[in-house]
Structure 1
Amino acid sequence: MTPDHAALQLWPVAASASAVEADELILAFTVLTLVLTVPVFIAITWFALRYREGSEADRSPSGIRSNLIEISWMLIPFLLTLVFFVWGARLFIDSKNPPPDAMVVEVIGRQWMWKFQHPTGQSEINNLHLPIGQPIKLRIISQDVIHALYLPAVRMQVAALPDRYTEMWFKADKVGTFHLYCSEYCGSDHSVMGGKLTLMNPGDYQDWLVHAGAQQGVVAAGRALYEAYGCASCHEPGSPVKAPSLAGLYGSKVALADGRSVVADDDWLRQKILNPNGDKLAGGGKQVMPSFAGRIPEDELNKIVDFIKAYPRPGQSAEATR
């Protein structure tokens, strides 16, 4: 993380009208809080110094009493804070009532990635492309534990719960690329469960759907899943975990601990991912890879196998699999 990373900025860019209004509410309430509290602390400090022990003071009753002053300093702050309550309640109610023409995007959270599916069928992993000027409703669920989808640019955060759908909606008005995060601790790789929110002009979004979205290669999709499931942290060159290299693995003969050898074909790769302990490899290495049985859908498993099949051989450029 660099010093100019968006997560370290004092105030992230606002990419919707509701985000701007939320900022105004927070800033206005902060100013009100300071106006009401700073004079009190200044007075406390002044009186503590002015009338500290040993200082002379006339403590005889002054005889001055004003019910108007007493009522005013209670009633005025109450009415001011009530204004902010109504303001915040209106924003909350608006955030829970999407317009009927909102475009629905399905969102699935799982350890440790986000999967987004557009109404026309295109899907993305850890990246979300959306048009500006169009109400967007995200319909969110978790496949395993509790997550939380956080979009700082639109000032929204919603829990992703197992077996229960939650929703958020917004209408972006600023083109750009922004961060998205999981803001609920969900396991050892919680910190890497993030991605990019790309807001585009409607014409550019339609072009993306036709080209980049619809024609995303199977291998590229497999690479995204390979990285999202954490495979790259062990199997990439230079990893501190000495996992077997995938370079040239597909179609080669693999020596097993029981003396047999097998060909690393599609079926063997699938079984090795689902049940890593089924065929222990020769060499005496410690088996640390977790089982993905029940954790990875069949369509995603096939994409990962396709990526392994195309994994660059030694000396081949990695760009071939992107």
Structure 2
Amino acid sequence: MGSGLPLFPEAASTMAGRVDALYLFLVLVSVFFGLLIATLVVTFAIRFRRRSRDERPRPIHGSAVLELAWTLIPFGIVMVIFLWGAEVFFAMARVPPGAMEIYVVGKRWMWKTQHMTGQREINELHVPVGMPVKLTLTSEDVIHSFFVPAFRMKKDAVPGRYSTEWFQATRAGTYHLFCAEYCGTKHSGMIGNITVMEPAAFQAWLSGGATGTSLAAAGEKLFQDLACITCHRSDSEGRGPRLEGVFGHPVSLASGERVMADEAYVRESIVNPAARVVAGYQPVMPTYQGLVSEEGLMQLVAYIQSLGGPATAGPGAASEGRGQP
């Protein structure tokens, strides 16, 4: 589907063919039953029409076989659609290990992207062919939707939270990027391009556009500028927990819950630190809501993600070796 039909965009990702196959199945099922029902309605209307005013129809006693048939057959078709759709959904939701990470911020009316190596782009994104790419999306103002038709990929960028999507391009080329959620008067102009390059060409592009400061390094500088290091010390003597090794591990909270320290958790801990307090610590951290931009938050997340080594969550949780930002 796709490149051979002008009604459909080119299929240029590993998921495109699977999405198209499911879509084509849904269309064929809909067309088949639509024609079948229309044909039966016309046929029955003609065959069983009332031919005279005195005519009386014969009583219908029903058929158990017919009842089972028109119950089980649609049920089976619906279950096929459900299981097939669930399989495609989970495949799109699970990010492959080793995916290249890119942060995306939507803002009226542009897309701002940041590579982990420091490169920044506006309304453009350069990626290598054949490599999984993980996108972490958010918005600075209203809801946007990152939509690349050739990849059959669409994900909302919501203010105040992170959403994750991934794709793996299969063909080098330039593909359209749209905002698929109405976001204001210039919504139609919030467009861009995804440039898929051969690996060698992509590495050359990275080298040519090097900024000298990776996303994690920029986050480390911001971490120091905000004096976060005063409380989050590496010697466990600060008023906040250590951050080394926290990312990607469970964290014990004062409420007794355990949550995963992912991008969303780290962001919430910066803008609303009292929402989830680490066990053994007091809610003394001030909020940085409005003081740090979404790009700055992503840099801090990248920095905390880059921290390795064992971590402690402080008193009461040190034995678990995990903590909270």
TM (norm. structure 2) is 0.60
Aligned counterparts of 2:107 and 2:295: Cα–Cα separation in 1: 15
Structure 2 partner of 1:154: 151
Aligned counterparts of 1:175 and 1:67: Cα–Cα separation in 2: 57
Aligned counterparts of 1:126 and 1:46: Cα–Cα separation in 2: 56
Describe the shift of the 1:196–1:29 C-alpha distance in structure 2 as closer, same or farther (beyond 3 A): same
Describe the shift of the 1:146–1:65 C-alpha distance in structure 2 as closer, same or farther (beyond 3 A): closer
2:65 partner SS? helix
Aligned counterparts of 1:297 and 1:84: Cα–Cα separation in 2: 39
CA displacement at 1:182 relative to structure 2 = 0.6
1:145 aligns with 2:113: no
Alignment match of 1:70 (pick from 67, 72, 75) = 67
1:48 aligns with 2:45: yes
Describe the shift of the 1:55–1:125 C-alpha distance in structure 2 as closer, same or farther (beyond 3 A): farther
Structure 2 partner of 1:22: 19
CA displacement at 1:84 relative to structure 2 = 1.3
| Matched letter for residue 158 of structure 1 | K
Structure 1 partner of 2:90: 93
1:79 aligns with 2:43: no
CA displacement at 1:62 relative to structure 2 = 6.5
How many residues of Structure 1 are paired with residues of Structure 2 in the alignment? 215
Structure 2 partner of 1:195: 192
Structure 1 partner of 2:164: 167
Which 5+ residue runs of structure 2 have no aligned equivalent?
213-290, 297-325
1:34 aligns with 2:27: no
Counterpart mapping for 1:169-184 below 5 A: 169-184=166-181
Alignment match of 1:109 (pick from 97, 106, 111) = 106
Aligned counterparts of 1:113 and 1:107: Cα–Cα separation in 2: 10
Structure 2 partner of 1:227: none
Greater C-alpha Rg = 1
Counterpart mapping for 1:123-272 below 5 A: 123-211=120-208
CA displacement at 1:214 relative to structure 2 = 5.5
CA displacement at 1:56 relative to structure 2 = 8.4
Cα contact 1:123–1:213 (8 A) shared by 2: no
Structure 2 partner of 1:121: 118
The superposition leaves residues 281-309 of structure 1 with CA deviations (integer Å, 9 ceiling, x where unpaired) of xxxxxxxxxxxxx9x9999xxxxxxxxxx
The superposition leaves residues 156-194 of structure 1 with CA deviations (integer Å, 9 ceiling, x where unpaired) of 111111111111011111111110001111111111001
2:113 partner SS? strand
Describe the shift of the 1:63–1:148 C-alpha distance in structure 2 as closer, same or farther (beyond 3 A): closer
Describe the shift of the 1:297–1:41 C-alpha distance in structure 2 as closer, same or farther (beyond 3 A): closer
Cα contact 1:135–1:172 (8 A) shared by 2: yes
Cα contact 2:139–2:294 (8 A) shared by 1: no
CA displacement at 1:132 relative to structure 2 = 1.4
Structure 2 partner of 1:248: none
Describe the shift of the 1:203–1:44 C-alpha distance in structure 2 as closer, same or farther (beyond 3 A): same
CA displacement at 1:54 relative to structure 2 = 4.7
Aligned counterparts of 2:189 and 2:137: Cα–Cα separation in 1: 19
Aligned counterparts of 1:179 and 1:56: Cα–Cα separation in 2: 65
Describe the shift of the 1:39–1:78 C-alpha distance in structure 2 as closer, same or farther (beyond 3 A): same
CA displacement at 1:212 relative to structure 2 = 5.0
Aligned counterparts of 2:67 and 2:49: Cα–Cα separation in 1: 26
The superposition leaves residues 14-52 of structure 1 with CA deviations (integer Å, 9 ceiling, x where unpaired) of 111211100000101111122223111111123334445
Describe the shift of the 1:111–1:48 C-alpha distance in structure 2 as closer, same or farther (beyond 3 A): same
2:15 partner SS? helix
1:17 partner SS? coil
| Matched letter for residue 105 of structure 2 | I
Question: What is the aligned-residue identity percentage?
Answer: 42
Describe the shift of the 1:134–1:56 C-alpha distance in structure 2 as closer, same or farther (beyond 3 A): farther
